[in-house]
Structure 1
Amino acid sequence: MYVCLCKAVTDKQIKQAACEGACSMRCLNKMGVATQCGKCARDAKQILRSTRAEIDMRLNADSGRIAIQAA
């Protein structure tokens, strides 16, 4: 789904950016998100936050499994 209509940025593109290390709106601004009318900023920020939280949760789960296996 399009999140930023002005710059034609989708939720998939925002999620991909988060997977590649984007962690702030400043990073998304480089893609054009929220640089024109700004109506997408809230939704874009929420998608970024939830994707980063999911990534962090996976990393923590993986490190927990590694620690258990090593013990």
Structure 2
Amino acid sequence: MIVCVCRRVSDKEIARHAHAGMSFDEIQFELGVGLQCGCCEGCARDVVEQCSASRPVAALRNEAAVHPVQLATPILESKAWNSSPLSSVA
């Protein structure tokens, strides 16, 4: 079913993004849902909420155990950081 007529976005497309772990705000930014006339925002939020509710918290915890978060190298330790004399004066 088409949820957003302005952008031709279906409920299946919104659900696919929600199942991938995206929040409504991220989906709105990615797909443009609810950004033109705004009539579809409530329905789109409902689809995201239903998809989030169908994914139990235990499954999210198991995913975190299997795929732990890897933090990026701190910016001060990065070789890409600009260490010119001007940056150390400030």
> TM-score, length-normalised on structure 2?
0.60
**Distance in structure 1 (CA, Å) of the matches to 2:58 and 2:10:** 23
Gaps of 5+ in 1: 64-71
In the alignment, is residue 11 of structure 1 matched against residue 11 of structure 2? yes
Gaps of 5+ in 2: 63-90
**Distance in structure 1 (CA, Å) of the matches to 2:22 and 2:6:** 20
Identity percentage of aligned residues? 30
User: Deviation string for 1:4-59 (max 9, x for gaps)?
Assistant: 000000000010001111122x1121211001000000000001001111012672
Write the letter of the residue equivalent to 1:53.
A
* RMSD, matched Cα: 1.7
Report which of the two structures shows the higher radius of gyration computed on alpha carbons.
2
Residue 2 of structure 1 corresponds to: 2
Please show how residues 21-60 of structure 1 align to structure 2 within 5 Å: 21-24=21-24, 26-29=25-28, 30-56=30-56, 59=59
How many positions carry a matched residue from both structures?
60
Q: Which runs of 4+ in 1 moved over 3 A?
A: none
Compare the two structures and name the one with the higher helix fraction: 1
User: More relative contact order in 1 or in 2 (CA 8 Å, sep 6+)?
Assistant: 1
